[in-house]
Amino acid sequence: MAQHPVSTMLRRLLAGTALLAVTLAGVAVGTAGATVASQTPPTKTIKLGDNFYSPSKVTVAAGTVVTFQWTGSNTHNVTVVKGPQKFTSPNQSDGTYVRTFTKAGTYKIVCTLHPGMNLTLNVKKPPKAPSTSTPTPSS
Ligand SMILES: [Cu+2]
């Protein structure tokens, strides 16, 4: 043996590392895909025109991520005047305001800038509660 087979060993090591990396990448992609599919919450978009909500009556399941989308040119807001969770959005003339409705019940929502601009949002309890996760504390 005249020479140490260093270059041969290095080549094998690199080949092994590359194979491992490819395998791990495949596993990661598969896992990520499954996670997204099982945890995506339902979503709903409600538009704010001039001067109305569209639709003005909505029923969603608890946990739904609701996106309020400003489509008109006037300034509006989203204010809960009656309901299990009260909140108000900033006054906006464009963009979106996202809110997740976790508490079931009927929400009376208005734009405080335009009397008569109303929205009734019914949030239903989810059909099944398979997990025993503790409810998230609300402010
Ligand atoms: Cu308004």
Q: Does the model's pTM come out above 0.75?
A: no
Percent of the chain beyond pLDDT 90? Answer: 62
What digits encode the pLDDT tens for the residues 42-79?
999 999 999 999 999 999 999 999 999 999 999 999 99
CATH number at residue 62: 2.60.40.420
Domain extent for 17 = 1-32
pLDDT for 23: 47
What digits encode the pLDDT tens for the residues 66-75?
999 999 999 9
Residue 22, Cβ density class (10 Å: 0-12 exposed, 13-18 middle, ≥19 buried): exposed
Looking at the structure of the chain, the number of domains it has is 2
30 vs 99: which has the higher pLDDT: 99
Domain match, 18 and 74 both? no
> 124 CA distance to ligand 1 centroid (A)?
26
> 50 CA distance to ligand 1 centroid (A)?
7
Do the strands 64-70 and 96-101 form a parallel or antiparallel pair, or are they unpaired? antiparallel
**DSSP output for 17-35:** HHHHHHHHHHHHHHHHHHH
> 86 CA distance to ligand 1 centroid (A)?
18
> 71 CA distance to ligand 1 centroid (A)?
11
Q: Mean pLDDT of all residues in the chain? A: 82
Domain match, 6 and 48 both? no
> 26 CA distance to ligand 1 centroid (A)?
50
| Domain-embedded: residue 88 | yes
DSSP class of 116? T
- Within 13 Å of residue 9, how many CA atoms lie on the same side as its CB? 4
Domain match, 51 and 77 both? yes
